[in-house]
Chains A and B, each alone.
Chain A
Amino acid sequence: METGRDIVLELDHLTIKFGGLVAVNDFSLRIEKGELVGLIGPNGAGKTTVFNIVTGQYEPTQGSVLLEGKDITGWRPHLIAAAGIARTFQNVRLFTGLTVLDNVLVSQHLRLKSHFLSAALCLPSYSNEEQRARANAMELLERLELVPYARELAGNLPYGQQRRLEIARALATCPKLLLLDEPAAGMNPEETARLMRFICKIRDEFDLTIFLIEHDMKLVMGICERIRVIDYGISIAEGAPDEIKKDPRVIAAYLGEGGE
């Protein structure tokens, strides 16, 4: 057996079929602790589907998902979240009607032990915990520079801040692994540059392993240590950014087979 040093996520021969469509085919990947890995590929290649399998929204037809060596294939999403995987979405999906603080607090359910019922009855054990949860949430908002917005409704935030809040909300679950689905979507180059620094910062500060999908090549090439390319649900290449840029299969997938 290999002695992979601290493998956080291991995807082992994942395949998922929707009817006759094979969306992801025999996809394997290992991500080590602290790595920043990018997943790229043309539209419809199955990138988000991979994320949906990892977070438990889809159950793979075959293959398994291991988090720190533990098989979590087919677990229900809330248990996977509790086990330490968090994600953001391609199109921001915040709880728009809740305040910024409450958005972050929703996930505090994970850490709060007291039952809903004791919460509803306002037992003392609950209110202590509740205060701690609020303090935690505020601290998180402070680290992500969102404190000025704490009492505002999430839906009223400017777009860039909404993206940041979505990451904050994911971090509130105390993940070991953070999945970012196109974090730079809809951002201008300047915002993207700021986002790149931000992603590197949170990885170090929160001791995270990050797996991200992105179309913005500058971002992917700029921050990812390793890039995996898929097309039509099949892995076609893997390597460091420089290798990927030159890989003929990748160029073909993106630009089409050159007909000369």
Chain B
Amino acid sequence: MSLETFIQQLANGVSLGSLYALIAIGYTMVYGILRLINFAHSDIFMVGAYFAFFLITVFHLPWLLSAVLAIALTACVGMAIDRIAYRPVRNAPRISALITAVGVSFFLENLGLVTVGARPKPFERPELMARVVRIGPAAISGVSIWVPILSVGLVAILLYVVYRTRLGMAMRSVATDIDTTRLMGVNVDTVISYTFAIGSALAAAGGIMWACKYPQINPLMGIYPGWKAFTAAVIGGIGNITGAMIGGFLIGLIEIMAVAVFPALSGYRDGIIFGLLLVFLLVRPTGILGETLKEKV
């Protein structure tokens, strides 16, 4: 592989990985707090991209404003899903919540198919993202530069919230022991609600950037990125934010590099990732940074 291709593929892998990381964080945060795999998360990602699409094309808002509004709206959708679908089954057996999550996922996908149609829509990306940048011998698209930068910025904000603010402290205490947190006078439902808001906002940001990278959107666009981000969260150690980031970058790089080094495998790029998930589940089910879960009494 020439240096030029290598740099290009590296940038490609890093930007893809940073998107996986953003989505994976949403899975891992909700799991950390509720021990729930939020299967609807991949569709929230899609909803975010559509909000941006409509704000740009129908309401003719500036691109950046549309993106910000879309992220805020998606955060509200995330909170609404928690309120309407998950809160009523919070004290039910865990499997009920899991099935509810699958249901919400199908609901959002099919709602999308019915309302906006199955036909992919072209997503307009800002000039900055489309511009080609030269790094050494390689020509790299602006998307591959900006997506990792923006993602890292968002993650930095997230880490600040989780480790330096009162909300973050409440989130960490809920993750350790939800009942005791209640006894400390914390309204746990509010904390969970904000967790969904934050996770969904990150998914929306991911969705919009994904649409900049692959500028066509459709109601099922979330499925594969969602599954791979879920894989990233598991590989990193589910429940662990840093782990989700590591997992995301790892998955992105492996996916791109495997195909770059062995072009013959290009048909198997999804298979490679899911194979990796299986290997991890067999060999190290707690993931890279995960701790062994103590079953709560």
A residues near B, CB below 8 A? 55-57, 76-78, 81-82, 86-87, 89, 93, 95-98, 102-103, 105-110, 112, 116, 119-120, 122, 130, 169, 172-173
Contact = CB atoms under 8 A, between A and B. Distances in A.
Given A95-B172, A97-B172, A98-B176, A120 B167 contact: yes
Interface stretch (B6-14, B65-73, B186-194, B275-283): B186-194
B136 interface: no
A122 B191 CA distance: 17
26 contacts: A55-B183, A56-B182, A57-B179, A76-B182, A77-B183, A78-B188, A82-B185, A89-B180, A93-B177, A95-B173, A98-B173, A105-B169, A106-B181, A107-B185, A107-B186, A108-B166, A109-B166, A109-B170, A109-B185, A110-B184, A110-B185, A112-B166, A116-B170, A116-B194, A130-B166, A173-B184
A126 to B, nearest CB: 8
A76 B167 CA distance: 20
Contact of A78 (B167, B169, B173, B182): B182
Given A105-B166, A106-B186, 5 more contacts: A97-B172, A97-B176, A103-B173, A106-B169, A109-B184
Contacts of A173: 183-185
A81 B184 contact: yes
A110 B183 CA distance: 11
A205 B173 CA distance: 28
Chain B interface: which size bin? 20 to 34
A77 B177 CA distance: 14
Contacts of A130: 166
Nearest to A109: B186
Contacts of A120: 161, 165, 167
User: Of residues B180, B190, B191, which shows the largest number of chain A Cβ atoms within 10 Å of its Cβ?
Assistant: B180
Contacts of A108: 166
Given A116-B167, A116-B190, A107 B184 contact: yes
Q: DSSP class of B's interface residues: helix, strand, loop or mixed?
A: helix
A107 to B, nearest CB: 4
Contact of A77 (B167, B179, B194): B179
Contact of B184 (A57, A96, A106): A106
Contacts of B169: 98, 102, 105-106
Contacts of A96: 176
A54 B184 CA distance: 14
A166 B165 CA distance: 22
Interface in B72-87: none
Contacts of B179: 57, 77
Given A105-B169, A120-B161, A78 B187 contact: yes
A95 B166 contact: no
User: Of residues A95, A169, A173, which shows the largest number of chain B Cβ atoms within 10 Å of its Cβ?
Assistant: A95
Nearest to A170: B183
Contacts of A78: 182-188
Nearest to B297: A91
Contacts of A95: 172-173, 176-177, 180-181
Contacts of A169: 184
Contacts of B166: 105, 108-109, 112, 116, 119, 130
User: Of residues A76, A78, A97, A130, which shows the largest number of chain B Cβ atoms within 10 Å of its Cβ?
Assistant: A78
Contact of B183 (A87, A97, A103, A112): A87
A24 B187 CA distance: 28
A81 B165 contact: no
B182 A81 contact: yes
Interface string B155-170: 0000001000111011
A160 to B, nearest CB: 20
Contacts of B176: 95-98
Q: Which 8 A-B pairs have the closest CB atoms?
A: A81-B185, A77-B182, A110-B185, A107-B184, A95-B176, A95-B173, A116-B167, A119-B166
A13 to B, nearest CB: 25
A105 B184 CA distance: 9
B289 to A, nearest CB: 13
Contacts of A172: 184
B173 to A, nearest CB: 5
A169 B166 CA distance: 16
Contacts of A119: 165-167
Contacts of B173: 95, 98, 102-103, 106
Contacts of A57: 179, 182
